[in-house]
Each structure stands twice: as structure tokens, then as C-alpha cells.
Structure 1
Amino acid sequence: MHTILFDVDGVFLKEERYFDASALCVWEILGSENYLGLGLDFHLPVAESTIRNIRDMVFDCNRVLNFIKSRGINSNWDMVFLQVSYQLVRGLIQLDQKQVAESYLREPFTRESLQELGAKFREIELKPDYPAFVQGFADSRAQKHELFSVFNQMIETHFQMECNFFSRNSSLWNLCQRAFQEWYIGEELYVQETKIPLIQSGKRGFLKDEIVLAPVDRLQSLLQRLQEKGYTLGIATGRPNLETRVPLSEIGVLKYFDLNRVVTASDVLAAEQKYPQYAPLAKPHPFCYLEALYGKQTDILELLTLDLPLPNVEDILIVGDSLADYYAAKAIGCKFAATLTGLSGEKARASFEALDTDYILQDVLEIENLLL
């Protein structure tokens, strides 16, 4: 193997803070007067103990997270959108006014639209039902980004109207993505990087609270030896550029990767905006791994129209912790090594064994046993 492409979360860095930010984002969009305004005791700043309680509430003690990941979704932006969308659809169905549903499920859908809709939801004293999310998919076998279409089907079935609103191209998805970025990188860095005014102040961010999944010195040593042995090292992550570059630089490992092969959610989003007809391109779609493999100088359309699986990819290894990474590797046709350092930990072994995964590793350091 001469090229190794790594995911970041669940491989190098622990995902916990991403899930915390996702839960807080859902809580804000549903509870803050800047959005739906359903109450929920929304306030800032948030104590650490409160964050734990909010995450347990929003993701039903991780049952919702585990379900979403089991269906092949790996992006935190998508996770936020899924939970917010479910509660929104549930509210529209309880409100049971077809004219209202038709008027709001048209583009453009703005933050003001959420505020107006929230006022209608408060009239019927709507409160979120977070555990119901998993039950809402009980009759569906939808996988990956097909999950979004389930919300369209729910609206069509109840109101007898055509609905194409819920997708990764929707303005609601963009609202969720923006709110998440405020939470994760914090207000100061968010304004500095995006030049976009804050919707809600008081968010300190989690970017400096990252947890490394292996001793840093051993991680640096491993990557250095791989580089010295002639391996090309790349990254394909669901993290945006800033959240990838800063923490990996802080722990001294970014320098071992070919920066032309460090592909992030920012690159995926740019590709979706340029070629919306091919969206969604987030994992488990193999786009980010393909761009990391061929290099960011490669024409995007060329990558999107490749015949898959690729021939002669025996020398390529993808290392990730999730089923989304596995599906991307299988689409490309290359080898896949699963690390058991993701959300499910050792419990993920059974799923990867059932899929006849090429390699199952306790952590990323075990790559040494495969290659060095």
C-alpha cells in the first residue's frame, strides 16, 4: 500500500465535542427566540453539567446518534439537520394546516420563517419529542442521505401534497450548518474566519477542547515513519477546514500529510455548490476520499464522473471509524481499516465483522502492525 487516507474524528481525535456542539445546536434552533422559540430553557452561557444533560436529552442518551450513524450518516451538520427536520415535520403534522405547510416548505426558508412558524407551534403548545426520532424511521429502510427524503414522504402522506424541501441543498440545512459553526469554533473565531455577523453571542467554542485518541508522541512517530517509508498520507474528513487544520497543527501531525490531499467538509460543500446536481457529496459518498486520492488540483467534475470501483487500487488504504467511511472505501474498491475508537467503541466490531471489513484495529496506532 502506497497511499493511506485517514478520517479524523474517531481516528485521531475524539468525537465527543462535535456531538456536544450538535446537541447544543439542535437545542438552540428549537428553543431560542432567534429561531423556533419553543422555550426549552434556552440560555447562555452553558455550564458543562448542562451540556451533558442537553446532549442526553437531544440525542436520547446517544440512541439517536447511534441510529443515525448506523444508517451511514457521518456529518454533524447532517445530524443536526435530521433532528431539527424531524421535530419541524412533527410540528407541522400536529398543527395539521395544509396551507401553512405549503407556504413554509418553499424556498427560500429563512430564520424569520422559523420564528413565524414557531409562533404557530406555541399556539398548540408544541414541545419536541427527541426519542420519537428513531421511531419515526421504524417503517423505513432508508440509508445514508436517503434519510432526508423520509421527511418529504411524511409531509406528502399526511398533507397529500408534493414536497421536495428536505435535502442537503435546502436553506434549512444551511441554517443548521451556520448555527453549528458558531457553536463549535466559537463566536470570536467564527466572525474572524467567516466575516459573517453572529446570530447568537455567548458561545466560547470547543476548538481548543479537542481530545486526542492516542499518545501524541506515538502518533507523531507513526506518521513520520510512514512518511519516511514512502507512503503518501492524506485526510478526508467531515470536519470543515478550520476544525481540521487547527487541532492537527496543535498536536504536531498536520505536517506529515500532503496538504494537497487534505480534504474537508469545506471542500465537499464547495463541490456541492458548484455541481448541485451531484449533491449530496458528504460521506458515505466517496468524493472526499477521491479528491484526497487524486489531489485537490484535479477537476471536480472529473472526480464526480469516475467509473467506480476503480481498477488497481490494491495499494490504497482508507482508515476510518464509521460505516460511512466503510461504504466510501467499498465504492472506490480499496482496502478499509476500521478503528474501534469512534462513538460505539468496541461495540462497533460486530458491525464491521458482519461486513467482512479488511482490517479491524483497536486504534490507529495498530496500522504499524500492518505496514511497518
Structure 2
Amino acid sequence: MAEKVIVFDLDGVITNEECYWVAAGLVLHELLYSPRYWNIDGRKEYHAPQHAEEAKALAESVFPVALIQGLKARAVNSNWDTCYAGFSLYLIDLLSLLPASAREALQPLRPWEEDWNTAFRAALAQVTLPEIGPQRLCSLSDPIFSGYTGFALLDRFNTVAEQRAGLKDVKIFSRYSDSWKFVQNIFQEWYLGDTLYQQSYRRKPLQPGKPGCIHDEKPQLPLDQITTALKALRAQGYTLAVCTGRDWQEATTPLKKYDLYQYFDKLHIVTDTQVVEAEQSYREQGYTLSLSKPHPFPFLKAFRPEHRPDAPLPPRGSFIVVGDTPSDVRGAEAANAISIAVYSGVRTEEARALLEQSQPDFLLKDITRVPELVAQFDDLGTIQRLQFTEKAKAELLLQRWFYLHMQLATASVSLTPKATSLNSFNGIYRSNTGEFFFKTHIEDQGILAEYYNAKLLTKAGYHIVRPVRTLHEKDRQMVIYPVVRWPVMFDLMREVETGDTHRATEEILVEAEKRECERLLSIYRDSLQFVSPAEHASAPVHQLFWHRLTGERLKTFYTGKRIPLPRHPESGIPFEELLTYRWRINGVVQPYTLGKLIKRAEVALLPSREAATVVGHGDAHFGNVFLEQQRDYLYFDPAFAGRHSPLLDIIKPLFHNVFATWMYFPFEVEPTCTLQARLDQEEREVVVEYDFTLAPVRLALLQTKLKHLIYPLLDWLRSIDSLPDDWEMIIQSALLCCPLLTINLFDPKRMPPLIGWVGLTYAVYMGNNGVFSWKD
């Protein structure tokens, strides 16, 4: 299995970046009011605030949170870049207040130079300045910024300066420009404070007396919540990585301070330090390339420490990125990662809206929800459920699953959700080696591992698609096939059932069924073998019947649940009480209650019994059968293939191919459903009136199965003294399981209550009568 990696942004996710925002605001405050810089109020000295409350108030007076969040929402992700954007807005605003001659004298702009600042300060002193503050600044919603984000937005200030301040040929505004480095240096003075700044840069700050905002930094959430989340992810086998715009010291210092550093892999921590080194290396080769967020490089470097900017992208979904800004989402998407955005760093409605508009793959409140979410990513059941409601998301998770569990680098994955996909999913994936069909079966609360034993079926004489690759670990079943272009029998039956005969007719389908029944009977005769109770108990087919009945599936679906009444879903009856009611179906009282049918089935379907077994597919419903050349069945997905009783082998195709239209198309069937049901509580009786009429093609198929497979099979087994005495109870009990336990009949997302009662009625009726009442 490939390494599982989650890459975390720090600020707004794990660390609280308010101290960075304060530092940014203090930079702007110092530039505006210090006699060393622009000194707009003419003060003689500038004193750095010494207390956190005073520092925060000064910072927010010039750089409010709403403006910072607006910049971050536009993918200005680094706090250095955010501060530089604020600097640019203020500089342009002040320049616009000067007369044209003063502006001309100040060109070209050189705000990083002391003599230029002296000249600028003198020019400002010659005019009467209005109240300077954030309310005067050019709004980010101004059309001049429309469509500009990230580094492009920083570059856009050149145009803003020309249009709003009447300047000419402005070229100073960009990332890593001299003005950017000038602002970055002042920022570091405020953030680190005098002592740490001198330790880091081996020089004294230009403006001394700064205590350092870093010492006021706090975690984004209560520390115990962060620790619990990180521990849970480590327990799930994840390598925890970091991708941050901070430099190495500023990223690792708070992690060590909070005792969180231990949860992250040092090789997978990527900061601005590594990004700058990579950019410098490229500049030495003659390339000008910005590799900071939202460029995918730092995310990919955190995922794979050996990554280089010119390396190919990994398969989609190979790793996960957790961030709180559109920049994180864009970078994750560019890196082919799964993006999880958290709201914890969002402070304004505008920022929230822009984060949502960036369309992350998943949105969560904060990182405490991440372990529960990602625990579902490796569960094929999650993909099976999502394929019907969020297909693109399901395909993304499947690409990730292929990469992690089968080391398959897929270029794309296309799921084909179908009505037959009740406990499975399938589709096509493409890679550099071609196009392939995949199929998996999801057995919730499975007891036995499923098996894809195509070799056994081929040897026995089945016409079956041979897989090119299989994975059959418990809860991780996947089969890869060459692409087959023949139509699936399920689709052909549905077409004929609804009057569409352009690809097949009832005669073609029934003749194909007759041919296959005869071949199947021949395979049964040739592969007959008696096995011991222990050998029979290990047969995978029991997963479809006895283990569902006695394991967690029956309990999960119904135990402790209230069963809603048809057409009156607001009322209902506890399942445990319903088990005790008699059933009167179309005026006929059924011999056994549902509770007694279940008890009877537990005995009849017991796996550990001697049996005459055959080689069987086990789950050969029409969703697993192609029709080749309009005549021959071509099987695939032998998830339950093995050696087992022929009485069990015939049940799934018998029920699902003939009787289960309501199960596959519940919302289409509901408007025309004739079932009427009521509870006679005095008599403790369920009274049902229902027309069990089958579509002509289904009825013809049933008659063909009975005539050419089931009756001859029973006669043959009887003739060789291999038909169990309780054969009829075995068939009835297996048929009971098909409608009752294939899916939850009363899951409102999948089944209207009325159709749930159709399934319940079939279960009770077939558990009592089997299928022989349909023989004529």
C-alpha cells in the first residue's frame, strides 16, 4: 500500500495567524506614522507598543481583519504578501493626494530607499492630508481588481498606481521586488522582535524596541482538540505534513511550543525557506518562476520530499490537503490532491463565500472533523453510496483508492451508476496502458472474505470474462477486466420490459436463458461433489444468505427501528412487534410470521452441513451477465464463486432477474404500485392486498427457468439421492433473504415506504411459498 499523506496549512488551521495580522498592521502603522518613514502626523518619535492589546488596537486601526480576509480570499495567501498588499494600497492612496509636480518628482518610485522616503515625507508635509485610514483605500471589489488573484493581484497595483495616482510606467509592485523585500524586513522586525530578529538575521532591527508578536501566538483551537485529531490521523496510518508560507523557524517554533511537532514528519514539512531555495536554484538556471502557493510545488514537496518542479503530477487524489483559503484549494487542485477546506480561519461572510466558491472537494468546520471524514475515504462503501449523489467526488475517491491499494496510476475514472448497483459499483478507468473495466462488491458487515475465482468457473465450463487483475482482501475487493462492449442482460431485460426492442426481443432473451439453463445444468452434473460440513461452511455463497441473516446486516437494517406504514409514513410499528404478526396476503393467511420465517431460515441455511455441491457463480443476476452475439451469457464479477449447493446457486438470479423490478426502480414503480396494507392490531395481523403480476418477459423467463433448470435439477438430485429432505425450506429461506437483506427496505434515501412494503410482502410470501405458485 502506498504512503498515505495529509498536508496541513498552518495559519487558520492549526496555528492562529492573528499575531501575523497584528504584525502586518503594525508594519503599516509604522510606515504611516514613524519619522523614519512617512510620518503623516508629524510626530517627533515613534514608540513601539509593548502590550498585546495596544498592538492589536493600533494594527486594526490601519489594517482591519475584513481587509486582510478579503485579500486572503483572493489567494493572497502569505502574510508577507498580505502586508505588502496593504502597503501598496496606502502608498498609492498617499501618492494620489500629492500635486502632479510632487508625484513627478518622486518618480521612479523607490520606497525602499531612505532618501526617497525623506523626499516623500517632505512632499506629504506640504499638503493638508485628510484622515488617513482603511476607509479611504481602493476597495478590492473595485472593477480595477476584477478577476485578479494571488501574485497577479500584487502586479495589478502597478496599473492601480497609474490610474488612481496619475503615475506613469509604474513597475515596482510585484512579489520579491525591492519594495516587497523592504516590507518583508519590517514585518520580520515586528513579528520576531528585537532579540529573535537579531539572532535570525545577524543584524539589529532598523527601528528597535519591538517585543515580537510571535510571543503572543496561540493555537487555532484548544490544544487538546488539535492533539486528539492529529493522534487519530496518525493511528489511521497517515503521515502528517505541513505546507506553509512561514519560514522554517516561524513554522516549527509554535509547533514545538505546543508540543505538536512530534506528530509531523520533518521530511514532509515545507516552508517558505524551501520554496525560496528552489526558486533561487531556478533563477541560477535563467528561469524566473514563482513556486509559492497557490503553485502546486510546495504541496507536492510536502507530499513527496524528493519532488522537483519539473516532475510529473501524481495521480488525482494521491494525497490530501487541509487548508482554509482559496489559495490552498487552488494549490491542492493543481497538485492533483483532495482538498479539504476548514472554516476555522474564516472571519467574514465574504471570505466564507469566496472559500465556498473555490469549490473544495470537502468543507468542514475545523480539523477536529478531519479524522472521521478521511476514515471514510478508504471505505469502498463510501464510493458506492456517493456514486448516485456526488459522482465526481466518488470518482475522485476511487482514483485515490486505486493509487493507495493497487498502485494504479489512473488518468481518469468513470463510474457507471446503475439500478443494479445496490451493493456494488463498476465503471471504466483509463491509464497509459489502455482502458479497463472494474467491478467491486460491497458486503457490509461481511463475515467471510469474498472471492473472485474466475479460474474455477472457467475450468468448470462457464463462459466468463477473465480478470486481468484482482484484489481480494477483506473489505477491499476489486476486479479489473478488459473492456467488454456487449450489452448487459439487466439493461436488455429492462428495455424489453418497458417496450423497447431495438437491441433485443423477448424471444431472443428467453431463448438465451433456455440455452444457459441447459448449459448450467450440464455444469452442475459434471462438477457434482459431496463435501463435509466444514468444507461447505467455507463456501462464499453463504455470505449472501445465512451470514446476512444472522450477522450484523439484519440488525443494522431493522433491529430497534420503527417500520413506517405505506402511504402513512408518519405512523408505524416497531420491527420487533412486526415480527410477531400473522400475515394475510390476498385473503390467504400465511403459515409463518416473519419472526418464525427468520428462525426457520437460520436452521435451513446453516452453512455447516453436509451437501452435494457444484461449481457455481453464486451471484449470477443479470447485472453480472453480458449477452454475447444475442445468444450466449458471458459472466463477470464472480464475487461469490465457489463450490456450494446448487439450491443456493440458483436463488439470486431467480429472484433478482424475475421479481425485483421494484427493488431496482423503486421511485418509478411507486406511482403505479397497487399494494394496500394495514395493521389489524386486535388480531395482530398484517393484511395485504397486492397484484403480484409480472411483466410478460419476466414471467416468460421464470417459466423457462422452472422448465429447463429448476425442475430438472430437483429431479436429478432426487434421482441420485442428493436432494435434502428440507430442500423446499432451503429454497424458501434463501428467497426470503433476497428482498429482506439485499438492501434496507426502509432506507428513505433509497426506497419509498410503499415499495419497502412491497419488498417485505415478497419476503413473507416467498419465505412461506417459494416460487412454485407462479409455475403456470
User: TM-score normalised by the shorter chain: which range applies?
Assistant: 0.7 to 0.9
Q: What is the distance in 1 between the residues matched to 2:48 and 2:356?
A: 44
1:160 Cα deviation after fit: 6.5
1:214 corresponds to: 221
1:172 corresponds to: 179
Q: What is the distance in 2 between the residues matched to 1:268 and 1:311?
A: 19
Q: Which moved more, 1:187-196 or 1:148-157?
A: 148-157
1:283 corresponds to: 293
- Counterpart pick for 1:193 among 187, 190, 200: 200
- Counterpart pick for 1:146 among 148, 152, 165: 152
2:59 corresponds to: 55
1:209 Cα deviation after fit: 1.9
2:691 corresponds to: none
Q: What is the distance in 2 between the residues matched to 1:21 and 1:166?
A: 21
- Counterpart pick for 1:312 among 311, 315, 318: 315
List 4+ stretches of structure 1 deviating above 6 A. Answer: none
SS of corresponding position for 2:245: coil
1:257 corresponds to: 264
Do the aligned partners of 1:67 and 1:134 also contact (CA within 8 Å) in 2?
no
Do the aligned partners of 1:64 and 1:133 also contact (CA within 8 Å) in 2?
no
1:306 Cα deviation after fit: 4.4
Q: Are 2:234 and 1:234 aligned?
A: no
Change (3 A) 1:138 1:351: closer
Deviation digits for residues 230-261 of structure 1 (CA, Å, limit 9, x no counterpart): 32221001222111111101111112212122
Do the aligned partners of 2:66 and 2:347 also contact (CA within 8 Å) in 1?
no
Q: What is the distance in 2 between the residues matched to 1:123 and 1:151?
A: 25
Q: What is the distance in 2 between the residues matched to 1:103 and 1:174?
A: 17
Do the aligned partners of 2:61 and 2:133 also contact (CA within 8 Å) in 1?
no
1:73 Cα deviation after fit: 0.8
Q: What is the distance in 1 between the residues matched to 2:355 and 2:76?
A: 16
Do the aligned partners of 1:167 and 1:173 also contact (CA within 8 Å) in 2?
yes
SS of corresponding position for 1:337: strand
Do the aligned partners of 1:82 and 1:148 also contact (CA within 8 Å) in 2?
yes
Unpaired runs of at least 5, structure 1 = none
1:69 Cα deviation after fit: 1.5
1:8 Cα deviation after fit: 0.5
Deviation digits for residues 58-98 of structure 1 (CA, Å, limit 9, x no counterpart): 12x42311221221111111111111122222233332235
Deviation digits for residues 322-356 of structure 1 (CA, Å, limit 9, x no counterpart): 11111111111211111111042787554444343
Deviation digits for residues 296-338 of structure 1 (CA, Å, limit 9, x no counterpart): x54xxx31x345xx34132310001111111111111211111
Do the aligned partners of 1:214 and 1:365 also contact (CA within 8 Å) in 2?
no
2:90 corresponds to: 87
- After superposition, residues 62-141 of structure 1 pair within 5 angstroms as 62-95=65-98, 96-97=100-101, 99-105=104-110, 109-126=112-129, 128-135=132-139, 138-140=142-144, 141=146
Do the aligned partners of 2:25 and 2:62 also contact (CA within 8 Å) in 1?
yes
1:366 corresponds to: 369
1:329 corresponds to: 332
- Counterpart pick for 2:277 among 258, 270, 274: 270
2:303 corresponds to: 293
Q: What is the distance in 1 between the residues matched to 2:91 and 2:352?
A: 35
Change (3 A) 1:110 1:347: closer
Change (3 A) 1:94 1:208: closer
Q: Structure 2 counterpart of 1:54, which letter?
A: L
Q: What is the distance in 2 between the residues matched to 1:136 and 1:122?
A: 28
Change (3 A) 1:290 1:134: farther
Number of aligned residue pairs: 362
- Counterpart pick for 2:47 among 43, 47, 52: 43
SS of corresponding position for 2:137: helix
Change (3 A) 1:135 1:351: closer
TM-score computed with the length of structure 1 as normaliser: 0.88
1:283 Cα deviation after fit: 2.0
Change (3 A) 1:262 1:115: farther
Q: What is the distance in 2 between the residues matched to 1:364 and 1:111?
A: 45
1:23 Cα deviation after fit: 0.4
Give the alignment's Cα RMSD to 1 decimal: 2.5
Q: What is the distance in 1 between the residues matched to 2:258 and 2:56?
A: 26
SS of corresponding position for 2:143: coil
1:222 Cα deviation after fit: 3.1
Do the aligned partners of 2:49 and 2:210 also contact (CA within 8 Å) in 1?
yes
Q: What is the distance in 1 between the residues matched to 2:88 and 2:26?
A: 15
Change (3 A) 1:136 1:289: closer
Q: What is the distance in 1 between the residues matched to 2:320 and 2:358?
A: 17
Do the aligned partners of 2:70 and 2:350 also contact (CA within 8 Å) in 1?
no
Change (3 A) 1:28 1:326: same
Do the aligned partners of 1:208 and 1:247 also contact (CA within 8 Å) in 2?
no
Do the aligned partners of 1:9 and 1:15 also contact (CA within 8 Å) in 2?
yes
Q: Structure 2 counterpart of 1:50, which letter?
A: E
Q: What is the distance in 2 between the residues matched to 1:4 and 1:177?
A: 30
Do the aligned partners of 1:285 and 1:328 also contact (CA within 8 Å) in 2?
yes
Q: What is the distance in 2 between the residues matched to 1:155 and 1:350?
A: 29
1:2 Cα deviation after fit: 1.1
Do the aligned partners of 2:7 and 2:322 also contact (CA within 8 Å) in 1?
yes
Q: What is the distance in 1 between the residues matched to 2:138 and 2:156?
A: 12
Do the aligned partners of 1:64 and 1:134 also contact (CA within 8 Å) in 2?
no
SS of corresponding position for 2:205: coil
Q: What is the distance in 2 between the residues matched to 1:161 and 1:134?
A: 19
Q: Structure 2 counterpart of 1:103, which letter?
A: P
1:203 Cα deviation after fit: 0.9
Deviation digits for residues 10-63 of structure 1 (CA, Å, limit 9, x no counterpart): 11111211111110111112221222222386422344443333233212x423
Q: What is the distance in 2 between the residues matched to 1:274 and 1:353?
A: 36
Higher strand proportion:
2
Q: What is the distance in 1 between the residues matched to 2:289 and 2:328?
A: 17
1:14 corresponds to: 16
Change (3 A) 1:124 1:143: same
1:154 Cα deviation after fit: 2.9
Change (3 A) 1:257 1:71: same
Do the aligned partners of 2:12 and 2:344 also contact (CA within 8 Å) in 1?
yes
Q: Which is bigger in relative contact order (C-alpha 8 A, separation at least 6)?
A: 1
2:736 corresponds to: none
SS of corresponding position for 1:186: helix
Do the aligned partners of 1:24 and 1:54 also contact (CA within 8 Å) in 2?
yes
Q: What is the distance in 2 between the residues matched to 1:36 and 1:270?
A: 33
Q: What is the distance in 1 between the residues matched to 2:371 and 2:140?
A: 43
SS of corresponding position for 1:341: helix
Percentage identity across aligned positions?
30
SS of corresponding position for 1:234: strand
